[in-house]
Amino acid sequence: MERRRWWIAPSILGIALILALAWGYNEYRTKNELGVALENNYQRLFFDVKKHIENVQVNLSKAMLANSRDQNILLLSQIMNEAYFAQDKLAQMPITHAETAATEKFLNQAADYSYHLIQTHLAGKPITNEQMAALANLQQNSSAFNEELTKLQSELADKDFLFTALNAKQNKKIREANQKIFQTTLVNIEKNMAQTPELIYDGPFSDQTLNKKPKGLDNKDVSLEEARRKAREFFGANRVEEVESFEEGEHASEMRIPSYTFNLYPKNTSRELAVYMGVSKKGGHVLWMANPRPINANKISIEEAQRRALRYLEEKGFEDMEPNYYLKYDGGVLFNFVNTEDDVTIYPDLVKVKVALDNGEIVGFDASAYYMNHHDRDIDEPELTLEQARERIKTDFEINSSRLAIIPKGKNEILCYEFKGKYRGADYIVYINASTGHEEEILQLIHNENGTLTF
């Protein structure tokens, strides 16, 4: 009996040690797999951004040469889409909004100005010399952007650069070297992008509109530490191990809403999987949050994801929000929510929420547009009745629904009747000015298995 006791205890300890080693190895392997997956995702995003910018440059060159209206409309549509795609991928990179403020402005304006010129063509007006000069400048900036990205690509390959090193606690020298390579190139890109002359036109990303002051912020200045506290509370104080602030970039002052930016490190999570967040310097409002963690196999439905997104908004103090359209990509689904007031849909007050479809976690949030535009509105009574507005639409347009809505138009907001319906088998939305009866906007809806796009 004594001899049995003598070998039982060491055996139990040995088994426990083996199990501990196995568990530790499994954790190590899982961490490495997550790190590899995240690094691959960042590398893919970088090359996607580069490809989209190349396409913008090529199509801008072609648009300057094209002489037919139809060809110009086609090229300008491609420029618009490629610029939007580049901006979407850039926003997912592990870099601060302050460091890419001028670049984001350039991409927004390339897309928005292309759309403006498309409308000019459709109105039967030729492109003026001033507009052609603006296109030439956009083309030069896209060319400069591509040159810097090509240099960056080459240097990253030579230095065995890891994007995850930008927010990981690695060897200090490696981390500083990685940051120097990437940030130096970003500064060069930003300098080139910041040289774009002011574009004079009526659009949501025109310089006149971009320079307007946010309407939805409090006037109170918020300190860095107070913003840090708000970031922690927004994500969930009990879920956060550390909050690290970014250094402000050279062009931080060009941000539409000046803000502090942070890395949040969730508890029991690899340091590579930092969450990014921006908090406004006025009022301390969380403007955006991005959690770039890898998303596993889908387990929840779009309907359940939408319920979670709406509940999340209510918890964050966004009331009277209604879901608009959604887009499914990269394992998650991005919902657009708009504000409603007195049965009027207010499109400028937009909030985006991205939900991971593996467990329903909120992995993306963007209320920048909401805080730019939200204010107490005195909504006028429409001068036209619904029936009078309906008479302004083609008779063979099959209307499925109608309501009042406020839409952005350059610097202004316009109260319209919104008519959704079908025309020759395709889905459209037609906006009729509720005061003048003018046809303000027509959007085509493209539905597929990933959601709905508007053009």
For 366-386, the DSSP string reads E-HHHHHH-----PPPPSS-H
What are the backbone angles phi and psi of residue 241, rounded to the nearest 5°? Answer: -90, -40
> Are 178 and 245 found together in one domain?
no
Indicate whether 1 belongs to any domain.
Answer: no
Question: 332 vs 239, 304, 365, 450, CA distance in Å?
Answer: 21, 12, 12, 10
Q: Which residues contact 49 (CB under 8 A, 6 or more apart)?
A: 86, 89, 90, 93, 149
**Looking at residue 63, what is its pLDDT?**
83
Question: 306 vs 149, 228, 244, 320, 332, CA distance in Å?
Answer: 37, 29, 31, 15, 11
> Are 326 and 409 found together in one domain?
no
> Which of the 8 DSSP states describes residue 252?
G
Q: Does residue 326 contact residue 335 with C-beta atoms inside 8 Å?
A: yes
* 291: amino acid identity, one letter: N
C-alpha to C-alpha distance for 288 and 39, rounded to whole angstroms:
22
Containing H/E element for 279? Answer: strand 275-280
Domain limit, last residue, from 345, 373, 401 = 373
Question: 20 vs 10, 13, 17, 23, 66, CA distance in Å?
Answer: 15, 10, 5, 5, 68
> Are 189 and 284 found together in one domain?
no
> Are 44 and 185 found together in one domain?
yes
**Looking at residue 406, what is its pLDDT?**
96
Containing H/E element for 423? Answer: strand 412-423
Residues in the chain: 455
The first and second tokens of residue 447, run together, are: 């539905």
Q: Does residue 356 contact residue 363 with C-beta atoms inside 8 Å?
A: yes
HSE on the CB side for 125, CA within 13 Å?
A: 10
**Under-50 pLDDT residues of the chain:** 1-10, 13-14, 16, 23, 25, 27-28, 30-35, 166-186, 190, 193-201, 203-208, 210, 249-251
> Are 311 and 395 found together in one domain?
no
Indicate whether 424 belongs to any domain.
Answer: yes
Indicate whether 208 belongs to any domain.
Answer: no
**Looking at residue 178, what is its pLDDT?**
47
> Are 197 and 243 found together in one domain?
no
**Looking at residue 6, what is its pLDDT?**
47
**Hey, is 355 helix, strand or coil?**
strand
**Looking at residue 102, what is its pLDDT?**
65
Indicate whether 443 belongs to any domain.
Answer: yes
The count of structural domains within the chain is: 3
**Looking at residue 211, what is its pLDDT?**
52
Question: 340 vs 137, 381, 423, CA distance in Å?
Answer: 40, 16, 27
> Are 109 and 152 found together in one domain?
yes
> Are 337 and 253 found together in one domain?
yes
**Looking at residue 113, what is its pLDDT?**
83
By residue range, what is the domain housing residue 235? 224-373
Q: Does residue 363 contact residue 290 with C-beta atoms inside 8 Å?
A: yes
Indicate whether 11 belongs to any domain.
Answer: no
> Are 119 and 236 found together in one domain?
no
Q: Which bin fits 360, alpha (ψ -120 to 50), beta or left (φ > 0)?
A: left
> Are 307 and 393 found together in one domain?
no
The first and second tokens of residue 209, run together, are: 């509109």
C-alpha to C-alpha distance for 329 and 143, rounded to whole angstroms:
29
What are the backbone angles phi and psi of residue 120, rounded to the nearest 5°? Answer: -60, -45
* 222: amino acid identity, one letter: V
**Hey, is 79 helix, strand or coil?**
helix
> Are 337 and 423 found together in one domain?
no
Indicate whether 218 belongs to any domain.
Answer: no
**Looking at residue 193, what is its pLDDT?**
47
Q: Which residues pair with 11 in a beta bridge?
A: none
Q: Does residue 97 contact residue 104 with C-beta atoms inside 8 Å?
A: yes
Q: Does residue 338 contact residue 360 with C-beta atoms inside 8 Å?
A: no
The first and second tokens of residue 285, run together, are: 């409002």
> Are 400 and 269 found together in one domain?
no
Indicate whether 324 belongs to any domain.
Answer: yes
The first and second tokens of residue 173, run together, are: 């020298």
Domain limit, last residue, from 328, 348, 373 = 373
